[in-house]
Amino acid sequence: MPTARPRREDYSESTRQALVDSAVALFTKQGYAATSLDAIARRARVTKGALYHHFSGKQAVFEAAFGAVERAVLAKLGQVVAGPGTPWDRAVSGLQAYVQVCLEPSYQRIAIHEGPVVMGWERWREAEEHFSFGLVKGAVEALVEAGEIDDLPVEVTARILFGALQTGAAIIAGADDPRKAGTDVSRTIIRVLEGMRVAGHDGGAPTGNAQPAQPAASLLRKLRG
Amino acid sequence: MPTARPRREDYSESTRQALVDSAVALFTKQGYAATSLDAIARRARVTKGALYHHFSGKQAVFEAAFGAVERAVLAKLGQVVAGPGTPWDRAVSGLQAYVQVCLEPSYQRIAIHEGPVVMGWERWREAEEHFSFGLVKGAVEALVEAGEIDDLPVEVTARILFGALQTGAAIIAGADDPRKAGTDVSRTIIRVLEGMRVAGHDGGAPTGNAQPAQPAASLLRKLRG
DNA sequence: GGCACGACATACCGACGGTACGTACCGGTG
DNA sequence: CACCGGTACGTACCGTCGGTATGTCGTGCC
């Protein structure tokens, strides 16, 4: 019996959203293993029964939280990389925006650190394809297409760059002086990018902007829920 | 031989080792959360009571497994990076050796993927400082000292490179064709390194090799146990 | 105005991490 | 050789948590 006002009067969707919000908050603060379903439900002012009505289990709750965090990030970054300028400019500004996003504790913990462990690496990778990694990959593809960087294998280059970005974000998040760490990381990664630039190339002609991959797949629907 | 070592300690040590081996095997196969202490003990042909005699809890068991895996890797890589040649050559060959090491499922799962989550990022980072990351950092320091690469912040550069290496390893481990993925990853990362090279530099004078940081700290003793 | 259905709550089970305690065995001592 | 202390386990048990089965209340519908 919920002591406060019964949630029943609200809509089901609101309850589900409250559960997701609760999960994001608790997973971010305590991590997946240390967060109980009872705690998640209690914070949303419902019981475990309600939780199991909306989700098939703890992992499903995590994936919903993961999806919520990723969609928020995607909304923030989508504008930046789709903005004006050359592919190179957009890549650099997107990079800086991403580093900024990575300071969000929820993204750090849920999407980057615990995501692969809880969801399994393969599934996590598949999901990431449609979210932040999709943006990075699109940016790299645009750079190659524009002849800005050497024609390395796109997939591998994008993944490695993605890994470097995540590590950079982790550095910033754990640093004593996040501001200084932020500039250090940005400088270093941009230096890496410049190192991969084709010799004598310093700003090519703009090309059509590359959209991230098609959404498709039932996984997407689950994460979108 | 100073004092006669009682047989009992041999047996005890052997039991502990069996528990660690069992833990490494099961954590690698099933992951931390899905592995029960009973299962670990059973595989070592003892009971949970014995396990709790040797370790303070599940996390301590994981850290022992982590230490075992990391020490094995360190032994393998230590020779490579301490070998002959210029800092640049040693860095490149060490890089390739590390990518090779990363194909070990135990290292992938225990050291890289679950380590930060189970031990906590800060503690994991502190431990890594004395193991594989220590080697990478040492190599980067040597490169900077030798004037091979630009004087970016060493710590940040090393960490980002480390992240890139791990990601590369993960790519190889999950690829359909590991051989092709291996060459792609090596090529890409070496390209990244070359991109960071100081312009017009293609092989400087050898310098004194930089040792990884001092071992010290009680954490080390625990992991060494 | 019953009635089916969705949206929860309640009660309970099994598994697992952790603890308390019992016990067999070894080495030393008188 | 009897005795004793401590180590290296085994056994029994508890609390918590993920998951399930079932009950209940409101609401739209005929």
Q: Does domain A1-55 have CATH number 2.60.40.10?
A: no
Q: How confident is the model at residue A220 (pLDDT cuts 50, 70, 90)?
A: very low
User: Chain B: nearest CA to A186, how far in angstroms?
Assistant: 10
Q: What is the dihedral of CA A12, A13, A16, A22, to 10 degrees?
A: -120
> Comparing C-alpha atoms, which of A107, A102, A83 is closest to residue A93?
A83
Residues 54-93 of B with CB under 8 A from A: none
Query: How do residues B52-84 score in pLDDT, each as one tens digit?
Result: 999 999 999 999 999 999 999 999 999 888 889
Query: Domain A65-224, what architecture?
Result: Orthogonal Bundle (1.10)
Query: How do residues A138-152 score in pLDDT, each as one tens digit?
Result: 999 999 999 998 878
Closest Cβ–Cβ partner in B122, B164, B171 for A164: B164
Contact criterion met (CB < 8 Å) for B188 and A157 = yes
Average pLDDT over residues B177-184: 88
| pLDDT of A10 | 60
Alpha-carbon gap, residue B184 to B162, rounded angstroms: 17
| pLDDT of A201 | 52
Q: Who touches strand C, with Cβ under 7 Å?
A: A 1-2, 7-8, 10, 12, 15-16, 41, 46-50, 52-54; B 6-8, 35-39, 48-49, 52, 56-59
Assess whether pLDDT exceeds 90 at residue A110: yes
How many Å from the CA of A223 to C1' of D30?
38
Q: Which residue has the higher pLDDT, A225 or B3?
A: B3
Assess whether pLDDT exceeds 90 at residue A44: yes
User: Chain A: nearest CA to B181, how far in angstroms?
Assistant: 8
Residues whose CB is less than 8 angstroms from the CB of residue B5 and which lie 6 or more positions away in sequence, other chains included: none
Average pLDDT over residues A52-69: 97
Q: How confident is the model at residue B203 (pLDDT cuts 50, 70, 90)?
A: very low
Alpha-carbon gap, residue A119 to B22, rounded angstroms: 24
DSSP assignment of chain A:
--SSS-GGGS-HHHHHHHHHHHHHHHHHHH-STT--HHHHHHHTTS-HHHHHHH-SSHHHHHHHHHHHHHHHHHHHHHHHHTSSS-HHHHHHHHHHHHHHHTTSHHIIIIIIIIHHHHH-HHHHHHHHTTTHHHHHHHHHHHHHHTT-B----HHHHHHHHHHHHHHHHHHHHH-SSHHHHHHHHHHHHHHHHHHTBPTT-S-----PPPPPPP--SHHHHHHH-
Alpha-carbon gap, residue B74 to B28, rounded angstroms: 19
- Opening angle at CA A116, ends A115 and A119, nearest 5: 75
Nucleotides of D under 7 A from a protein CB: 7-12, 16-23, 26-27
The reply to whether A168 touches chain B by the CB within 8 Å rule is yes
Assess whether pLDDT exceeds 80 at residue B144: yes
Average pLDDT over residues B6-27: 89
Q: Domain residues of chain A, as ranges?
A: 1-55, 65-224
| pLDDT of A200 | 56
Alpha-carbon gap, residue A20 to A61, rounded angstroms: 7
Average pLDDT over residues A216-224: 39
Run of H or E including A53? helix A48-54
Alpha-carbon gap, residue B43 to B114, rounded angstroms: 21
User: Chain B: nearest CA to A5, how far in angstroms?
Assistant: 37
**Chain B residues within an 8 Å CB radius of A191:** 150, 152, 196
| pLDDT of A170 | 85
How many Å from the CA of B96 to C1' of D20?
51
